[in-house]
Amino acid sequence: MPYVDRQNRICGFLDIEENESSGKFLRRYFILDTQLGSLVWYMDNPQNLPIGADCVGSLKLTYISKVSDATKQRPKAEFCFVINAGMRKFFLQANDQQDLVEWVNALNKATKITVPKSCNAQQNVENQKALLDILGPKKQVSYRTDIIGGVPIITQTQQEGGEGQEGSERELLRRSYSQLPYFLGRPTQDRAVIKSGYCVKQGAVMRNWKRRYFLLEDNTMSYFKSDLEKEPLRMIPLKEVHKVQECKQSDIMMRDNLFEVVTTSRTFYIQADCPEEMHSWIKAVSGAIVAQRGPGRSAATPRTTLTV
């Protein structure tokens, strides 16, 4: 679901068909910034990318004429909606119907259905080029500018890094499986998987933040480098978990949707993609711990906090 971050911007993950009519949707992190009057999208949440990482694409809100449901236009793309910008149409996929409705409403409210004057198209192109000049030369990145129906669209086309970069990109672009009870690519016949999906975790030594695939089972909470890995980086026995709750230090860490898993040896700081996912993880882990105690031993605890 889209959420409002600390800078009062509407953020969240969506899938976008970047190449028109390709039918290929890519996972991106979107930021709707009404103060700057723009919709930008990145490979991942910018907090998890290297400092200064460029956006993959951007669109001025004044170029958007209408945002609407597109499930009839793209019946094979579930929860699809379309952004009309001049003669270009951007098709996007939401995570569910509520997500679709909230994004459509937010975008329409932000744009107020305003269409730019065509006579300003050349000036807009010059402004966009001037902005790139101000940002300075970036040898590892190339851009493409298309004029579509009087609307200049600047898109990043290539980034240096070869197959290694593409491999990392593929990992970041994989659709979040938070809504699924299990991941089909991993054998689960003998495993009772309660919840799985991608979150961002703080490292114990370097204190850096990395995206990891989490798997919650009856007795353990594990995390992997990606959802394709079979061996976890670490397994956290639930019997060692004392508390799981929304992080009280989120303001200090400047992280949205942050929760903590407190164990006997360490506190794990984990960031979900949205508030709903954060509360879903807290509830799932709390429920698994209570269930592990056995019948008649569950305790009344706050909705988003479990103390063992």
In a domain, residue 128? The reply is no
| Rounded Cα–Cα distance for residues 210 and 48 (Å) | 7
Domain assignment present for 226: yes
Range of the domain at 283: 193-293
- Say yes or no: 104 and 199 in one domain: no
Which of 91, 113, 135 is the C-terminal boundary of a domain?
113
Task: Please report the pLDDT score of residue 126 as a whole number.
Answer: 56
283 lies in a domain? yes
Residue 125 falls within a domain, yes or no?
no
Q: How many CB atoms lie within 10 A of CB 135?
A: 11
Tell me, yes or no, whether 208 lies in a domain: yes
Last residue of a domain, one of 63, 91, 113: 113
Q: Which pLDDT score, from 0 to 100, does residue 148 have?
A: 58
Note whether 13 and 95 are within 8 A (CB). yes
Q: Within a domain: residue 176?
A: no
Q: Which of 87, 113, 139 is the last residue of a domain?
A: 113
Structural domain contains residue 69: yes
Please check whether residue 57 lies inside any domain of the structure: yes
Q: What is the mean pLDDT of each run of 10 residues along the chain (308 residues)?
A: 89 91 90 91 90 88 89 89 88 93 92 50 52 49 60 57 46 41 40 88 85 92 90 92 85 82 92 92 92 55 46
Same domain, 8 and 98: yes
pLDDT at residue 143, rounded to an integer: 63
CATH number, position 202: 2.30.29.30
Same domain, 107 and 209: no
**pLDDT given for residue 192 in this prediction:** 80
What total number of domains does the chain contain?
2
